[in-house]
Structure 1
Amino acid sequence: MKTNKLLFLSFIFISLGFTAQAQRGARIGYIDMEYILENVPEYQEASTQLEGKVQRWKKDIEKKNKEVEQMKLNLSNERVLLTQELIEEREEEIKILENEIMDYQQDRFGPNGDLMIQRRQLVQPIQDQVFNIVQEIAENKKYDFIFDKSADVVMLFAAERNDISDVVLRSINRAAKREEAKTKREEREIERKEALSAEEEGAVTEREQEIEDRKNEREKMMEERRRQRDSIRNARKAEIEKRRERILRERQARMDSIEKAREQKRKERSQNNDSGNDDNQEE
């Protein structure tokens, strides 16, 4: 089936090659779906969440496999002490658990498992959005053919000037921004950018990037100043705490010394009283 598909696609490309050679006016473009997906924040966030699920599923399988291995080890160690009936029961229990693990793996990672289903659900909305945007670009920019570079179609060469992935990606980001726009001013700014040509938008984007870079540089400087200020403040705080602890130790030492001296005096008075009583008894 896949071979027939590749042959069909090859036939299309050969036909297009002859057509393009006969008609030099044909305009061809392509997109890189993988590149687009990598730069859509919503997709990346959902993909990260899905990856978290995958890791939990793998841990569940690993845990169950360890249980099976432990059961096999226990059976091996206890086999000489068990009757044949008990041995068969243990083996049946292990077999049932192994089948459950296999079913769980198929449910999660099989061709129709949760992973494949959720990946399709994750990609489908963006693919639909890309398809609609490509249709608009093809009509507005007069493209004759637009291909997906990341699909099964084999591209032996693709000039970068024909790559419209960034155009599609900008359209996706604009659609997301339009949904997030909260004021009329923000909506007008988005509409103004949409009206720009690719060259003008590139210039605007470059200026915005310069502004963003300067903003980031100022934030870095402020962060460095805050870090230095916090470092000085922490050093002073540590010094004050150290001085406070030293004062408390010295005060405690003086109090201990006074208490020791008082205790010594009490002992001396007690000894003197005892000595006086002895003298009185002798008289």
Structure 2
Amino acid sequence: MSSKTKVLLLVSVIFMTIGSFAQRGVRMAYVDMEYILENVEEYRDATEQLEAKVQRWKVEIEQKQSIVEQMKKDLMAEKVLLTPELIAEREEEIQILEKEMIEYQQDRFGPQGDLVLQKRRLIQPIQDQVFNEVQKIGVNKKYDFIFDKSADVVMLYSEKRHDISDLILRGIARTRKVSAPSKKADDRSRLDDFEGEEESEEVSEALQERLDKANEAAEAREKSAADTRSEQLKLREERKKAYEERRKKLLEEREAKKQEKLKERNSDTEKDDNNGTI
């Protein structure tokens, strides 16, 4: 769906709703998810730690790639001096290392890699909490619509007084540490728009049911993410073990061939010595 289509659809829905609720007026608000995440210290700190991990993973991949490239260069330089058997062995070893590097890269940065999973684990609990707070505020303050400014809905203009992000942060602050909303000297905090409004803590049965379902869904997602992570770690260990076994076998075969050639060479030397003695 194009941006223009989204805008037209949104405008159409708003005008239809305005007609339906003309008697009491339409109450709308929006939240800025990016702003909320930036102000949740737990998320911000965890994101910085994840970024440090990402940099380490990139360095490790670069090191593995450098080793493979150097092995390729060495093989090209020494190829004329090596037997076909040794060339095949070196090429096989390079292929094993190259495959391991690609698998490692996928494990870290692939569609189901550590980066995607850890980002999801960081953001999902906060998103669930935001959803719960939005449900409460929507019911208690009788909003008809609450949009997410950072989502796909295109907002060409938004008045700050409709932004309830700080109100959401205030709700999140009951269980998480959040930063104080930034407040310029000539600008009021977005929380000021809600001062004087009594925030009802009463939750209807229907809302409570939705919140319970949301919590259950969050727990299910968390369990699914943990299971996926466990399976990936298991698969990674199996691949690592298989790689070590292949490498060990390759080295053993190479050593056996060397010993066999050395034995043949010694045998030929003994024959030459015996012939010379005769």
Cα distance in 1 for partners of 2:125, 2:4 equals: 29
The 2-side partners of 1:45 and 1:100 are apart by 31
Q: Is the 8 A contact 2:40 2:176 kept in 1?
A: no
CA RMSD after TM alignment: 2.4
Gapped runs of 5+ residues in structure 2? 178-191, 198-278
Cα distance between partner residues in 1 of 2:7 and 2:194: 33
TM-score normalised by structure 1 residue count: 0.58
1:63 alignment counterpart: 63
1:172 is aligned to 2:169: no
Please list, as runs of the form range in 1=range in 2, the aligned pairs for 1:18-37 lying within 5 A after superposition. 18-22=15-19, 23-24=21-22, 25-37=25-37
Question: Partners of 1:7 and 1:83 in 2: how far apart?
Answer: 66
Match of 2:81 in 1: 81
Report the CA distance between 1:200 and its aligned residue.
Answer: 5.5
- 1:102-251 equivalences in 2 (<5 Å): 102-176=102-176, 198-199=194-195
Deviation at 1:20, TM superposition (A): 4.1
Paired residues in the alignment total: 180
Q: Which residue of 1 aligns with 2:227?
A: none
Normalised TM-score (structure 2): 0.59
Alignment partners' CA distance in 2, 1:46 and 1:140: 32
CA distance in 2, matches of 1:93, 1:55: 27
Deviations 1:108-165 (A, max 9, x none): 1111111111111111110111000001111111110111111122212222111111
* 1:13 alignment counterpart: 10
Following TM superposition, by how much is the alpha carbon of 1:11 offset from its aligned partner in structure 2, in angstroms? 6.8
Quick one: percent identity of the two aligned structures?
Answer: 60
Cα distance, 1:52 vs structure 2: 1.7
Report what 1:189 is aligned to: none
**Whole-angstrom distance in 1 between the partners of 2:30 and 2:6:** 15
Distance in 1 separating the partners of 2:27 and 2:34: 23
**C-alpha distance in structure 1 between counterparts of 2:4 and 2:85, whole Å:** 60
Detail structure 1 runs of 4+ shifted over 4 Å in the superposition. Answer: 6-12
